[in-house]
C-alpha cells in the first residue's frame, strides 16, 4: 500500500502556527483532534495510506483562505487544498503535519448572466447542484463527471475533470473564463475575465486548471455556460466482444456523428452492474455502448440511426432505444454506478487511461491480454467516445499476492497505453498515483519546466507538496 509521506515541520512551529491561525481567524472552523480530522484524510483512492494532518480548516471567504496561506508560508506548514474528496489520484489525500483546507463551505453562486452566458461561483458548490440552479434559467454547464452529485466545481477545475458529455462538449477547461486564486504566500490574483475572447499575456487561467492544488487555491470561478439542449435520446447497443464495441466507436466517428454521450461497459462490468442494480442488462453480451444525442428531436433520431448502422456494421447483437426519459435515466445511472458495482466484487482499483479514439479497439485487446497474463480480473468501462477508459482491477482481498499482481497489470497497462500514443491519465489527474509515470510519458525536459513553474509560484513548496511532482 502506498504511503503519503512528507517531512513534517517540527512540533513547536506547528503549535505556533495553530495559535497564530486561531488568533488571526477566531471564527474559523478548525479541527485538530485526530478523531475529527480522520474523515478528511482520504480521497476516493482507497488503496493509498494517507498522512496524519496537523489540522483541517473550513474557510468561508477568500480573505480567510488568504490568511491561512500567508500564515502557512510564514510557518512553513504545507497545505492540502480539498474539495469534496471524490478524487481518484490522491490529490486531496492528507500529508503528515500539513493543514488540509476544505473549500466546500464556499459554495455560493455569486452571479448568473444569461445574456453573456456565464456564471460566477465559489469553488465548493457541487457540480450537480450548479446544474440544478442553472436549469430553471434554461442554462447548463456541460462538464459532468460521473461523480457529479458528490464532486465540487473547485475539484473539477483543479483536476480539469471530464465526464459523460465530453465527446461533444469538451472538458472543464473549455468552460473556464476566469479565476480568482490565492497563491502560496496569501496574495490574491484574478486571471481571465468575462469576455469570450481574451489573449492578453500568458494564459494563467489554463495554468491553474488541472494544477491539482499545487499552484494556488481557487476561490472563485467565472464559467461559461450554454443554452440548455434538448432532452437526451438514448440508445444501447450490445456486442459479442469489447473489441467489436471499440470498432463500433470508430465507425460512429467515421460516420460524422458526434453523440453527446458514447460510453462503454465490458462483460465483467455489465455483470457487476446487473448483479448490483437489476436493470435487465443481457448476461450474454460481451460489451455495451450507451449512445445519446441531445440534438433537437429529428436530428437526434438521424444521429442515433447513423450510430445504429455503425454498430450493426460490426455485428451488434442487439440495439435498444429508451422509450421514455425515465428509462433513459435508468440506463445512464447504470453506467454512472459502474465503479460502485465493481467495488462490490472486491478491492477495485480504477485506472484512467486515454488513447486516440481510433486505437480504442487495440487498447481493449491489450487489456484482455494483460488480464489473461496476470490473472487479475478487470472491468473496463468509460468514455469510449473520448478514447478514455477506466480499466478497474478487482483485487481479491484474501490473496497475499493480490497487490503485486495488480501493480504488474497496471505497469503493463500504462506501457501499452504509451505504446499506442496515449496518456496514463485522461481526467483523474497525476496526484500521487500516476506521479511515477509522468517523466516516462512527458519526458525529462517537460518535467523540468513543470518544476520551474511550481518554484516560481510556490517557492517554499507549501501547496500540496509531492502531488504531481515528486519531492526532491
Ligand X SMILES: Cc1cc2nc3c(=O)[nH]c(=O)nc-3n(C[C@H](O)[C@H](O)[C@H](O)COP(=O)(O)OP(=O)(O)OC[C@H]3O[C@@H](n4cnc5c(N)ncnc54)[C@H](O)[C@@H]3O)c2cc1C
Distance of CA 379 to the CA centre of its chain: 18
- 254's enclosing H/E stretch is helix 242-254
40/80 Cα distance (integer angstroms): 10
For the bound state, the minimum distance from the C-beta of residue 206 to ligand X, rounded and expressed in Å, comes to: 14
- 366's enclosing H/E stretch is helix 360-374
Residue 43 is given by DSSP the state -
- Contact call for residues 249 and 258 (beta carbons, < 8 A): no
For the bound state, the minimum distance from the C-beta of residue 64 to ligand X, rounded and expressed in Å, comes to: 13
Closest CA to 368 of 399, 407, 413, 311: 413
Cβ distance to ligand X smaller for residue 263 or 294? 263
Residues that bind ligand X (CB under 6 A): 43-44, 80-88, 91-92, 103, 123, 145-147, 151-152, 154-156, 158-159, 161-163, 212-213, 217-218, 339, 427-428, 464, 467
Q: Which residues contact 132 (CB under 8 A, 6 or more apart)?
A: none
Using the structure block, give the residue that is written with the C-alpha cell 491553474: 208
Q: What is the dihedral of CA 327, 328, 333, 334, to 10 degrees?
A: 70
Cβ distance to ligand X smaller for residue 98 or 310? 98
138/134 Cα distance (integer angstroms): 7
Closest CA to 427 of 138, 167, 192: 167
Cβ distance to ligand X smaller for residue 91 or 192? 91
Cβ distance to ligand X smaller for residue 159 or 351? 159
For the bound state, the minimum distance from the C-beta of residue 379 to ligand X, rounded and expressed in Å, comes to: 13
Number of H helices, E strands in the chain: 16, 19
147/87 Cα distance (integer angstroms): 9
154/341 Cα distance (integer angstroms): 27
- Contact call for residues 109 and 119 (beta carbons, < 8 A): yes
- 454's enclosing H/E stretch is helix 444-457
Cβ distance to ligand X smaller for residue 25 or 84? 84
372/86 Cα distance (integer angstroms): 31
CA-CA distances (angstroms) from residue 437 to 208, 389, 433, 442?
Answer: 21, 17, 9, 9
Classify the C-alpha dihedral 325-329-330-331 as positive or negative. Answer: positive
443/456 Cα distance (integer angstroms): 21
Would you call 125 helix, strand, or coil by DSSP?
Answer: coil
Cβ distance to ligand X smaller for residue 216 or 251? 216
For the bound state, the minimum distance from the C-beta of residue 344 to ligand X, rounded and expressed in Å, comes to: 13
109/121 Cα distance (integer angstroms): 4
Amino acid at each position: 500500500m502506498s504511503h503519503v509521506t512528507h517531512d513534517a515541520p517540527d512540533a513547536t512551529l506547528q503549535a505556533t502556527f495553530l495559535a497564530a491561525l486561531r488568533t488571526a481567524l477566531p471564527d474559523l472552523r478548525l479541527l485538530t483532534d485526530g478523531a475529527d480530522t480522520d474523515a478528511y484524510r482520504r480521497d476516493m483512492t482507497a488503496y493509498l495510506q494517507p498522512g496524519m494532518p496537523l489540522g483541517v480548516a473550513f474557510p468561508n471567504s477568500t480573505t480567510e483562505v488568504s490568511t491561512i496561506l500567508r500564515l502557512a508560508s510564514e510557518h512553513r506548514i504545507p497545505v492540502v487544498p480539498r474539495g469534496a474528496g471524490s478524487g481518484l489520484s490522491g490529490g486531496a489525500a492528507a500529508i503528515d503535519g500539513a493543514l488540509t483546507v476544505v473549500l466546500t463551505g464556499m459554495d455560493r453562486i455569486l452571479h448568473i448572466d444569461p445574456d453573456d452566458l456565464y456564471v460566477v461561483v465559489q469553488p465548493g458548490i457541487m457540480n450537480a447542484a450548479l446544474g440544478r440552479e442553472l436549469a430553471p434559467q434554461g442554462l447548463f454547464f456541460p462538464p459532468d463527471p460521473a461523480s457529479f452529485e458528490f464532486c465540487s466545481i473547485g475539484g473539477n477545475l483543479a483536476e480539469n475533470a471530464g465526464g459523460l458529455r465530453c465527446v461533444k462538449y469538451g472538458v472543464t477547461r473549455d468552460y473556464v473564463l476566469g479565476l480568482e486564486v490565492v497563491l502560496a504566500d496569501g496574495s490574491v490574483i484574478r486571471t481571465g475575465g468575462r469576455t469570450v475572447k481574451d489573449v492578453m499575456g500568458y494564459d494563467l487561467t489554463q495554468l491553474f486548471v488541472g494544477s491539482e492544488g499545487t499552484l494556488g487555491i481557487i476561490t472563485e470561478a467565472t464559467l461559461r455556460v450554454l443554452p440548455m439542449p434538448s432532452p437526451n435520446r438514448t440508445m444501447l447497443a450490445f456486442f459479442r466482444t469489447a473489441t467489436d464495441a471499440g470498432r463500433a466507436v470508430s465507425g460512429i466517428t467515421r460516420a460524422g456523428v458526434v453523440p453527446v454521450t458514447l460510453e462503454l461497459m465490458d462483460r465483467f462490468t455489465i455483470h457487476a452492474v446487473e448483479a448490483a442494480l437489476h436493470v435487465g442488462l443481457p448476461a450474454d453480451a460481451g460489451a455495451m455502448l450507451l449512445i445519446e444525442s441531445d440534438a433537437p428531436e429529428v436530428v437526434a433520431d438521424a444521429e442515433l440511426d447513423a450510430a445504429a448502422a455503425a454498430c450493426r456494421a460490426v455485428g451488434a447483437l442487439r440495439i435498444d432505444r429508451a422509450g421514455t426519459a425515465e428509462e433513459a435515466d435508468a440506463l445512464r445511472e447504470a453506467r454512472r454506478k459502474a465503479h460502485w458495482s465493481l467495488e462490490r466484487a472486491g478491492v477495485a482499483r480504477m485506472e484512467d487511461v486515454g488513447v486516440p479514439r481510433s486505437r480504442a479497439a487495440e487498447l481493449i485487446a491489450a487489456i484482455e491480454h494483460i488480464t489473461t497474463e496476470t490473472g487479475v480480473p478487470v472491468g473496463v468501462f468509460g468514455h469510449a467516445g473520448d478514447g478514455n477508459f477506466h480499466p478497474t482491477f478487482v483485487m481479491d482481498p484474501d490473496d497475499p499476492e493480490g497487490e503485486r499482481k495488480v501493480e504488474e497489470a497496471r505497469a503493463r497497462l500504462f506501457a501499452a497505453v504509451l505504446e499506442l500514443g496515449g496518456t496514463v491519465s485522461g481526467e483523474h489527474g497525476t496526484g500521487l498515483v500516476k506521479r511515477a509515470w509522468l517523466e516516462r510519458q512527458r519526458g525529462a525536459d517537460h518535467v523540468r519546466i513543470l518544476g520551474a513553474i511550481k518554484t516560481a509560484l510556490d517557492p517554499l513548496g507549501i501547496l500540496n507538496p509531492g502531488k504531481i511532482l515528486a519531492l526532491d
